[in-house]
Amino acid sequence: MLTESPKKSLNEEADEQYPLKEIVVDEIETDTGGVPTLKLNGFVGFDSLPYQLVEKCNEHGFQFNMMCVGETGMGKTTLMESLFNMKLEFEPCNHELKTVELRSKTCEVSEGNVHVKLKIVETAGFGDQLDKDKRFSERPTIFKEPSVPFSARVIVDYVNEQFEKYLIEELKVKRCLAYFDDTRIHACLYFISPTGHGPLRLKALDVVTMRELSKRVNVIPVIAKADTACKDELVRFKRKILDELRGHNIQTYQFPTDDDTVRQANQELNKLIPYAIVGSTDFVTKDNGKSVRARKYPWGIVEVENEEHCDFVKLREAVLRINVDSLRERTHNVLYEAYRRDRLREMKLGDGDAGLKMMESLQLRQSDYKERNAQQEKKYKEEFVRRVEKKEEELKRREEMLNTRHREVQEKFQLDVQTLDQQIQTLMEEKYKLETRTLTGKKKDRK
């Protein structure tokens, strides 16, 4: 008869597998910090640390935020729908939009045990009208760089605002970064028109926007609607874009090659930048019965996921399959760090400014602020007094003018009355003379 062996505890199992010997120090090295490195001869359990981390991360979920920048109708929404294999109900945008806006959609996606909170942001009304920049250049934006067109400033502002929200949370006394809705943009796809501007050149707006954005976000340039250009043209255009980016010293994102596991793949993926992409929301059934995402033309079909037809698969591999974490990491460690440094310097905080030093700094900032406020108030008061005095002077001058005019009118009136009196007097005298003459004439006649 089989008897069930009593259930062993995990500890007992581990002890059996790795009989606990005395921890023997095999080797003692003294590293630069003077801390010895010990080699254990028995199982301790540290090796489960990566699994604990994976479990924790999976449980907590991930956040990935992507932004698409490009003209209306360039295929931004279609590409996102193709990349994530789902319908995004973005409000359609027309070319008549009077300003540049950023529209976003947030959703949760799951693959296996991994849950990702995905935020997709796309520009609406960007680069549509030539006069839009002029018309709105007067509107204030946070990003103060007057030489940068308004449309570009709105987008950089958006990226900075997400950093600012994170910084505010980070500086709170009671902060909760683990559950903070982190909206910092991890990847920005910049859509370049397949025809370029003039003979396969980048538009000035594209150059400036990419230059400013690449200082704050991981910019990945893509040639939109690649099915509308022929292969040779695309090869030349890619080369031209890279030359222009280099010429303007614009550093778009390069997939990292410092990690052995992804070095080769990323080296190949970097060579394809800017990716020539095609997107589609339609599926076509091929002769072999397979349904593929494609664009249908009278002469045939362009398959989105066919590497012979476009770089879509490579883009998906680069951004979503191999480098999501590298994009998130660079956003936090390099781009946000630079933003944070700039902002703390603006606040006049230096390295090691904590505790008393921080209080000093804050007091300094406060008194600086008060001083600036007092100066501003003084300036406003002086301006007010100056304006009141000016107004008073003007009123006085007007009053004097009115008085003079009044005096003149009165004098004229007096003069007129005098003239009329004299005229009446003269007329009365003439009348009297006439009457006397008539009477004497009549008396003479009667005689």
Ligand X SMILES: Nc1nc2c(ncn2[C@@H]2O[C@H](COP(=O)(O)OP(=O)(O)O)[C@@H](O)[C@H]2O)c(=O)[nH]1
For residue 78, give the nearest of 274, 202, 195, 224 by alpha carbon. 224
Q: Which of 356-382 are b and which e, b meaning 16 or more Cβ less than 10 Å from the residue's Cβ?
A: eeeeebeeeeeeeeeeeeeeeeeeeee
Return the SS3 of 224: coil
Q: Which of 77, 151, 326, 331 binds ligand X (CB under 6 A)?
A: 77
Q: Could you say whether residue 75 binds ligand X (CB under 6 A)?
A: yes
Q: Which is nearer to ligand X, 212 or 227 (CB)?
A: 227
Q: Do strands 187-192 and 300-303 pair parallel, antiparallel, or not at all (unpaired)?
A: unpaired
Q: Could you say whether residue 222 binds ligand X (CB under 6 A)?
A: no
Q: Which of 119, 132, 216, 225 binds ligand X (CB under 6 A)?
A: 225
User: Of 78-107, which residues contact Mg ion (CB under 5 A)?
Assistant: 90
For residue 332, give the nearest of 252, 250, 217, 251 by alpha carbon. 217
Q: Which is nearer to Mg ion, 76 or 316 (CB)?
A: 76
Q: Could you say whether residue 73 binds ligand X (CB under 6 A)?
A: yes
Q: Which is nearer to ligand X, 75 or 196 (CB)?
A: 75
Q: Which of 66, 67, 69, 74 binds ligand X (CB under 6 A)?
A: 74
Within its chain, how far is the Cα of 213 from the centroid?
Answer: 8
Q: Could you say whether residue 104 binds ligand X (CB under 6 A)?
A: no
For residue 195, give the nearest of 231, 223, 232, 235 by alpha carbon. 223
Give which of ligand X, Mg ion, none residue 75 binds (C-beta under 5 to 8 Å, depending on kind).
Answer: ligand X
Q: How far apart are CA 53 and CA 42, in angstroms?
A: 23
Stretch of 35-43, 76-84, 106-114, 417-425 lying at the interface with Mg ion (CB under 5 A)? 76-84
Q: Could you say whether residue 256 binds ligand X (CB under 6 A)?
A: no
Shortest approach of ligand X to residue 226 CB, angstroms?
A: 7
For the chain, the straight-line distance linking the first and the last C-alpha, in angstroms and rounded, comes to: 189
Shortest approach of Mg ion to residue 123 CB, angstroms?
A: 9
For residue 216, give the nearest of 321, 129, 332 by alpha carbon. 332
Stretch of 24-32, 35-43, 71-79, 336-344 lying at the interface with Mg ion (CB under 5 A)? 71-79
Give which of ligand X, Mg ion, none residue 227 binds (C-beta under 5 to 8 Å, depending on kind).
Answer: ligand X
440 backbone φψ class: left, alpha, beta (φ>0; ψ -120 to 50): alpha
Give the footprint of ligand X on this chain (CB under 6 A). Answer: 70, 72-78, 93, 225, 227-228, 278-279, 295
